[in-house]
Chain A
Amino acid sequence: MKKLALLVAVIALVAFAAAPSARAADTIKIGAAFALSGSIAVYGEGFKKCIDLAVEEINAKGGIKGKKIEIVYEDNKSNPKDCVTAVRKLITVDKVPVIFGPAGSSNFMATAPVAQENKVVLISAQGAAVGLTKAGDYIFRVFPSDTLQGPHLAKLAMSKGYKKVPVMYVNNDWGLGLKNAFVDAYKKMGGTVTDIIAYDEKKTDYRTELLRASKGNPPAIVNLTYINEGAVQFKQAFEMGIKTQWLCGSAARAPKMVELAGKAAEGVIGTYPSVPQNTKAYQAFKEAYKKKYGDDKIPIFGDYNYDMVYVTARAIEKGGYTADGIRKALPQAAKGYKGVTGDKTFDNERSPKFAEYGIWVVKDGKIEDYKK
């Protein structure tokens, strides 16, 4: 029913947007081209929950200068083509000055030039790919770039004594970017990459890729994978009797992955941009999330989405409700702002300047912080 209600809401919204009434000015509209269907809708639903939570909180406190925020969700169907359609629709029909961009670096990077050309601010809360914001000065992200993660992963491998590893990665902008960042750093530290295996997303059968990666029984395999792909791969590797230490990136770190893979995911470790969860801000966020949704499993990257809403709201308050105003105000609005995910100050490439990386491990069916 919720989806039906959403559909009705979207139709009503379009009808209102089309009518030249004074109503439209009553709210501050922000576009969100999210994956509500398709392969990564697993993520999209979680982001939406956290966005809605932040919007509800801001509106409860009086909104932005008395105006309520309203998010215009547009389904991006999890593929680059429909992402572009969704962003174009938000720009031309809803005429929003700022859009929360699609998840999945390839999806986001497909839409970035469109936003840049139309001079509309586009923000990512989970894009880690190295060149994500290169399309221009209207493109921002509140999630740290993999330029920072690659060396951390290489350091992890070396510190555990793995001097030779094969590397598997999901063949898209995110996987490729992190693979390159990892391989560069790892080689500099004296490591040897024995094989590089790219694989496609959304497959159900990775047995032969796994077989090739496990040739020669390497003690560790680096696998830069996603939730579903990772779950399938760990399950199949377990069934095939491959015994190795899996080293992953941030995108596989999700309770859903462990739920799907069961005990096959036991012992998998990886790096991730760590968000210190013992801070007051994080606890408050977790509490609010639990109150609204009844469970305290924060969706992957949900905290970054939550921060994105606050940073954007601050920028709109400072710079006004225009794309140029928001673009110019964003760096000031974020400078020194301590969100749930830490200091949100931007660097010169409109990416977070600071990021801490932690190590995650799957232990007893749960994702925990790795302790040496």
Chain B
Amino acid sequence: MDSISYYLQTVLNGILAGCIYALFAMGLTLIYGVLNFVNFAHGELIMWGAYFLFLFMGEPFGLPLYAAILPALALTGCLGLAMDYSVFRPIRRANRLTLLIAAMGLSVFLRNAAQFFWGAEVRTYGLEVTAGMRFFGLTITAPQLAIIAVTLLCVAAVYLLFFKSRLGKSMRALSDNLDLARISGIDTKRAILAAWVISAVLAAVGGILLALDTNLSPEMGVINLIKAFAATLIGGVGNLWGALLGGMLIGLAENLGVLFISPGYKDAVAFVIMVIILLARPYVIIGERSD
């Protein structure tokens, strides 16, 4: 392997990791924007999304992959709504700490519930492993192409929804000022529900892509949530494009870092960058939001 393609492959790996982080971070930041708290149970939406697909592909449904995706996404959307209805709605006006602790509790509950139903062992969708395709010395597999394509699609869909539809407009209004939005006659309930569904579906899409590319385990959500959280911080919490860029930045930085320092510090790379950015200039990447 010559050294240019060696570096390019690393950049590609970084982009792949970044796509996944970005999908997670966008959902996380969306809920933050609308409801003003960090949903630490977001990782569990990621994991449940992936497991729902596993559910529909296995007995008694036995659906093929392409047919199982829609019901899995729909069910994860419902799970998002159920989370809001049962836990977050009753404490909508509570302070942030209460919401944060509720989210953490919910996270533990959902993780253990998944373990109860599917066991703690790592699983796969049982698809055949295939060697990747090669372009100009770079290797990429079908699931990885799917990661990039689906991420682009999701970003486009989110863009259209947020900046070209009334619903998106009302969500942005909510995100700016909840009370003001309410007074102006915006249907805040509907916007909040929509935010939960979108956030959950984005999480499920990312979770499924991640599981297709690697494995399923009850821990898969928590592990990646930390990176997604870092990505939202880098991008400025509540800022969708910031989350996208933050995810990409973390993915690239931790992969490129591995080439020069011991991979044992892979996680540290992401966090060191996060700390530096926060210290130097909070929300430097995009935006003036400073909540």
Contacts and interface: CB of A to CB of B under 8 A. Distances in A.
Interface of A: 3, 36-39, 41-42, 44-45, 171, 196-200, 202-205, 207-209, 211-212, 214-217, 227-228, 231-232, 235-236, 238-241, 256, 260-264
Contacts of A212: 258-259, 263
A57 B220 CA distance: 38
A39 B222 CA distance: 11
Nearest to B131: A241
Nearest to A243: B131
Interface string B89-117: 00000000000000000000000100110
A261 to B, nearest CB: 7
Interface string B253-285: 001001100111011000000000000000000
A207 B120 contact: no
A266 B219 CA distance: 27
Contacts of B210: 204
Contacts of A203: 223, 266
Interface stretch (B6-14, B33-41, B167-175): B6-14
Contacts of B258: 208-209, 212
B129 A264 contact: yes
Nearest to B257: A208
Contacts of A240: 9, 132, 139
A205 B214 contact: yes
A241 B5 CA distance: 14
Nearest to A242: B139
A235 B129 contact: yes
A87 to B, nearest CB: 20
B219 A202 contact: yes
10 contacts: A42-B120, A199-B264, A208-B258, A211-B10, A211-B13, A238-B129, A239-B132, A240-B9, A240-B139, A256-B121
Contacts of B128: 262-263
A236 B17 CA distance: 13
Contact of A37 (B115, B122, B144): B115
Contact of B219 (A38, A44, A216, A263): A38
Given A212-B259, A241-B132, 17 more contacts: A3-B116, A38-B219, A41-B115, A42-B120, A200-B264, A204-B214, A204-B220, A204-B223, A208-B10, A208-B13, A215-B6, A228-B217, A239-B129, A239-B130, A239-B131, A240-B132, A262-B128
B165 interface: no
Interface of A is mostly: helix
Nearest first, the 5 A-B pairs at minimum CB distance are A41-B120, A198-B264, A204-B214, A207-B13, A171-B264
Contacts of B9: 211, 240
Interface string B112-148: 1001100111111000111110100001010010000
A212 B10 CA distance: 9
Interface string B49-82: 0000000000000000000000000000000000
Interface string B203-236: 0000000100111010110011000000000000
A211 B129 contact: no
A37 B215 contact: no
B4 interface: no
B13 A42 contact: no
B157 interface: no
B183 interface: no
Nearest to A169: B264
Contacts of B14: 208
B1 A208 contact: no
Contacts of A239: 129-132, 139, 141, 144
Given A241-B139, A261-B129, A41 B121 contact: yes
Nearest to B266: A200
A3 B113 CA distance: 11
A204 B220 CA distance: 8
A66 B141 CA distance: 62
A3 B120 CA distance: 12
Contact of A208 (B112, B123, B124, B255): B255
B129 A263 contact: yes
Given A208-B258, A208-B263, A212-B259, A238 B214 contact: no
A39 B217 contact: yes
Nearest to B254: A208
Nearest to A206: B263
A264 B220 CA distance: 22
Nearest to B258: A208
B6 A198 contact: no
Nearest to B130: A239
A90 B91 CA distance: 38
B224 A204 contact: yes
A171 B267 CA distance: 13
Contacts of A37: 112, 115, 120
Interface centre among A208, A217, A228, A260 (most CB of B within 10 A): A208
Contacts of B123: 260
Contacts of A231: 122, 215
Contacts of A228: 122, 215, 217
